Amino acid sequence: MHTCRTLLVDAFTDEPLSGNAAGVVPAADDLSADQMQAIARELSVSETAFFVESEEADRHVRYFTPTTEVDLCGHATIASHVHLFEAGDIEPGTHTLETNVGVLDIDVTDDGTVWMTQDDPEVESVDLEYDRLGDALGIDPAALRDVGEDLPLAVSSTGLPILIVPVNFLSHVGSADPDMDALVELGEEVGAMGIYVFTFDAVEAESTLHGRMFAPAVGIPEDPVTGTASGSVGAYLRAFGAFEDEDEDDNENESGDGKENGNGSGESDGFPDELRLEQGHFVDRPGYVRVRVDDEAVRVGGRATTALDGDLVVPDAGDDDIIEA
């Protein structure tokens, strides 16, 4: 047996025990996949990031939920790079990170804010019955139809496919009582690993929207604050012109060409420079994700704080012993 340094770092917050906790193992070259999975199960947070050497980038990361490996995780990326910065292992600037979806750029500012450039966005509308979806989420289907007239249901991906579901009011988002088995079935049907419900009726006036993320298919009933899904919803909002202003609408109506903007892509020229997405309030882990979307990239940013720093005793590969904290 040997020990490995293991941290719990709370992402998208400046306050410990809020935001989204990520496990971070900064030196995992000697660990097998089974050992990584066992550590993730022991930590029992939504994702744990394991760093190993890379021949393609500055470092290579693997992400594990308590039950499976996933290709990408926004909050664990933010959390781990804040730790590396505060430990003096990296300087402000751009760093490259090898993931299962490719090599991504990670930018660290002088104040310790970390920005993650996500994969090229892919957004596609899906056809689901609102009654069925409402039953699965435990939300009145009328609250979905109300917004669906302007913003459709869609699967959006900036690395992981997420079913994006707009809802009219915060009260409906907060009172959601999802049937996890039904959500798994819906996700499999549309090719999504999780479901993100959101409303523009946010808790705080400075927030763009409030969201909740359910991902039971990968062992996460509800994720407190989700970086990857935040990038996906940012791409979704831009793709469907959620922030078009009245002048743009008037110009389009006068032109009579039926396009949502000048390039006909459905993307709004009036899109904000930065979005502020709030999440986690209904599970007592409030956090805030900064999202920037433009023609070049989708970027997700935030701060983090370390809540726990210690060692785990790890059984040798192939042993059936339980990890001891």
Exposed/middle/buried for 263, CB within 10 Å: 0-12, 13-18, 19+? exposed
Calpha distance 45→220 (Å, rounded): 9
pLDDT digits (tens, 9 = 90+) for 58-108: 999 999 999 999 999 999 999 999 999 999 999 999 999 999 999 999 999
pLDDT digits (tens, 9 = 90+) for 47-65: 999 999 999 999 999 999 9
Query: Can you give the residue ranges of every domain in the chain?
Result: 2-117+304-314, 122-294
Calpha distance 313→124 (Å, rounded): 45
Report the chain's terminal Cα–Cα distance, integer Å.
13
Amino acid at 253: N
**Domain range 2-117+304-314, CATH architecture:** Roll (3.10)
**The CATH number of domain 122-294, selected from 3.10.310.10, 3.40.50.10490, 1.10.260.40, 3.30.980.10:** 3.10.310.10
pLDDT digits (tens, 9 = 90+) for 111-167: 999 999 999 999 999 999 999 999 999 999 999 999 998 999 999 999 999 999 999
Our answer to whether residue 47 is catalytic in this structure is yes
Q: Which of 47, 244, 260, 278 is catalytic?
A: 47
**Same fold? 2-117+304-314, 122-294:** yes
- Give every CB contact of residue 319 below 8 A, 6+ residues apart in sequence: 1
